[in-house]
Amino acid sequence: MNSFRTELEDPIVQKDIIDLEKKIREFRDGKIHDEKFRSLRLARGIYGQRQPGVQMIRIKLPFGKVSFKQVLRIADISDEYASSNLHLTTRQDIQIHYVSLDRTPELWAKLEQDDITLREACGNTVRNVTASPTSGIDPNEPFDVSPYALATFKYFLRNPICQEMGRKFKIAFSSSDADTAFTYIHDLGFIPKLILKDGKEIRGFKVLFGGGLGAQPSIAHMVNEFLPEDELIPYIESTLRVFDRHGERSNRNKARMKFLVAKLGLDEVLRLIAEERVANRSKKFTIDRDAVDLPKIPDKIALPEVLISDQFLYQRWLDTNVFEQKQAGFHGVYIKVTTGDIPTSKARKFIAAISGLVADEIRITINQGLLLKYVRKEALPVLFERLKELDFVKPGFDSVSDITTCPGTDTCNLGISNSTELARVLEDLISEEYDELIENQDIKIKISGCMNSCGQHGLAHIGFHGSSLKAAGKVVPAAQVLLGGGTVGDGVGRAADKVIKVPSKRTKDVVRVILDNYSKNKNGDELFNDFYDRFGKDHFYQLLKPLADLSTLTPDEFVDWGHEEIFETAIGVGECAGVMIDLVSTLLLEAEEKLQWSIESIEANAYSDSIYHAYSVFISSAKALLLDKGINSSTQVGIIRDFDEQYKDSQILNGLESFSELVLQINKNEPSAEFARAYLGSTVDFIKRIKTEKESI
């Protein structure tokens, strides 16, 4: 297990992995509380599965970019440590499953040899930064957003301001106004814009703010029509600092940015963000536009003559899965991946099949597929035949037949129903009964195993999420039907309406009824959501109501898709974010640890980091003392306020104007060396005061 100590070149990464190994050992020895350890491992991409004793590992791939070598490395890792499968996610990550906790440091070290990280793939952190998979080759893009997504990923990885927030934070970059990265459902979304100034093109972004799906979906607010590119990183930094300080921490169901906006009001949140900028590490940040290396374009080689084995399928594949890049003479090729799952043996054959025909840069798409780049026109027939052998030429990418789904009850603690099998069933239904719709890219069907929308059901034209019903004294696996969601464009989107709940086994009939009704009653080329708006929600409720009748249940409807046993709900504790630890001793130990980090940052001249670590010392230690009095504050600003109230007459604050004045210097000062040293000194003094107070009791 310790081989990584010598193999890894990056000392920061090496320290990360050694620290994980140490924390696992301390957890096994009972020295770290289970909930604290849970928070720690989540921030390192280690997520507890539904099955006891094993972990899901989420591999963080910024904007879904992955090389041939990295795919092969991940396949090798999955064979050695996991279940020999690669699962593509809607956040452009790859997940592997059934991993032993004790082997995760070694696994991580082997991934890092090919520049692949687990860091902050889960937990209360900035999650994987997503982007339109076509960025860089999109014919409609003003400029390539890939370097901006990469800069965001790098700047906030291990950044103290976003390591232990109240909840996760999601950021997306779309390549054009088509908004294929769904900026409108993100905490922060960015759409590239160009303006002319003095005859010169200036790059910037339209900013979408405070969106999110889940049980209570919220469409993001447009807060800036044009944010100059050098203000991008500072704006995100200020936003994260506000979210960390003001965001909810007790009730995780109210802990996303959209709830902070609802609580304080959009104008107040934006005011706080503007106020925070003085303390930013960067006031302006120049993006390296060349940071994302252009992939090596395949050489023009003599290709073998190919006889197309299925001319109809080939033409359909060209029509629905292939497009011309903005680079003349080259094509992008999409691959549908059913349920996002690729066995490792198939992954290796896939890399062998495409090598020499496409650029060495694959993008994982947001609907769990793959995008290949820089395919020469003359190479398309050869590529088709090679992919056909792997069953990777199913037509209809991103169409009604290309269904997005999360793993559901396959592995997730929160899963209520088997979403993956339902996806397969519905894809077969479209293929067998609605072949004429395979080229329809207007209607999107998306499925989640629960209400949390990991399968993005909340933005689907036709969406389902796992649920349950009670009938005849038993529990019936059910699906909540949602209709009318989707992308309008340029940051505008629609959240789907909850229409009706039906037994899961009737979802095929739900799709039949909706598609048949649409086909029969639409006006010419009327889009589905225009049709939905014209008829209204109640029309569809009445249309589907007979399918919700529980008096006609048959025995097989008490069994979920893909199962043989009678259905029962077995929902575990969700791990989408770490749980807050309300243990006084743990918090005081954390304060001591963060104090050391602050000192180390000062020594490394990382003044902004030192200041934030010192701020965290104030918060952790104050929270510990409040908990000692039975007071649980739900936000950091609440901790500051309550500490002033409870300890205003104590020796701890003797001679100080207030705890608030002491701590909130953080957003009133530039992160200079002078202020960093003074703020650290105040922190050291505060810890001494606490120890003196406790010793006197």
The domain that contains 338 carries what CATH number?
A: 3.30.70
Tell me which of 36-40, 89-93, 512-516, 643-647 is least confident: 36-40
Same domain membership, residue 183 and residue 56 = no
Same domain membership, residue 602 and residue 690 = yes
Same domain membership, residue 449 and residue 383 = no
The pairing of beta strand 46-48 with beta strand 55-59: antiparallel
Same domain membership, residue 510 and residue 456 = yes
The domain that contains 686 carries what CATH number?
A: 1.20.120.330
The domain that contains 532 carries what CATH number?
A: 3.30.413.10
Largest Cα span, the chain: 88
**What is the pLDDT averaged over residues 252-257?**
92
Q: Is residue 67 part of a domain?
A: yes
Residue where one domain finishes, among candidates 343, 360, 389: 389
pTM (predicted TM-score): 0.94
Q: Is residue 42 part of a domain?
A: yes
Q: Is residue 304 part of a domain?
A: no
Residue where one domain finishes, among candidates 490, 523, 558: 558
Q: Is residue 578 part of a domain?
A: no
- Nearest residue to 693 (alpha-carbon basis) of 606, 629, 604: 629
**What is the pLDDT averaged over residues 157-165?**
95
Average pLDDT, the chain: 93
**What is the pLDDT averaged over residues 260-276?**
97
Q: Is residue 144 part of a domain?
A: yes
Same domain membership, residue 262 and residue 136 = yes
- Which tokens in the block code for residue 119? 């860091």
The domain that contains 56 carries what CATH number?
A: 3.90.480.20
Q: Is residue 575 part of a domain?
A: no
Task: Identify the pLDDT of residue 578.
Answer: 40
Q: Is residue 289 part of a domain?
A: no
Q: Is residue 93 part of a domain?
A: yes
Same domain membership, residue 330 and residue 430 = no
pLDDT at 72 over 60: yes
Same domain membership, residue 422 and residue 385 = no
Same domain membership, residue 190 and residue 83 = no
Note the pLDDT tens digit of each residue in 476-532: 999 999 999 999 999 999 999 999 999 999 999 999 999 999 999 999 999 999 999
What is the three-class DSSP state of 566?
Answer: coil
Q: Which residue do the tokens 């464009």 mark?
A: 489
Tell me which of 33-47, 197-211, 250-264, 478-492 is least confident: 33-47
Number of structural domains in the chain: 5
Same domain membership, residue 83 and residue 12 = yes
Range of the domain at 12: 4-112
- Which tokens in the block code for residue 181? 């990265």
Residue where one domain finishes, among candidates 519, 541, 558: 558
Same domain membership, residue 421 and residue 493 = yes
How large a percentage of the chain has pLDDT more than 90?
A: 80
pLDDT at 579 over 50: no
For 600-609, b/e burial (b = at least 16 CB within 10 A) is ebbeeebbbb
Task: Calculate the CA 432 to chain-centre distance.
Answer: 33
Same domain membership, residue 408 and residue 384 = no
Task: Identify the pLDDT of residue 492.
Answer: 97
Output phi, psi for 131, to 5 deg.
-155, 160
Say which amino acid occupies 399: S
Q: Which residue do the tokens 């370097």 mark?
A: 147
Burial of 299 (0-12, 13-18, 19+ CB in 10 A): exposed
State the Cα–Cα distance between residues 368 and 87, nearest whole angstrom: 8
User: Which region holds residue 284: left if phi is over 0, alpha if psi is between -120 and 50, else beta?
Assistant: beta
578 DSSP assignment: P
Same domain membership, residue 440 and residue 375 = no
Note the pLDDT tens digit of each residue in 424-443: 999 999 999 999 999 999 99
State the Cα–Cα distance between residues 358 and 364, nearest whole angstrom: 15
Task: Identify the pLDDT of residue 296.
Answer: 87
The C-alpha angle with vertex 651 and arms to 650 and 656, in degrees rounded to 5, equals: 95
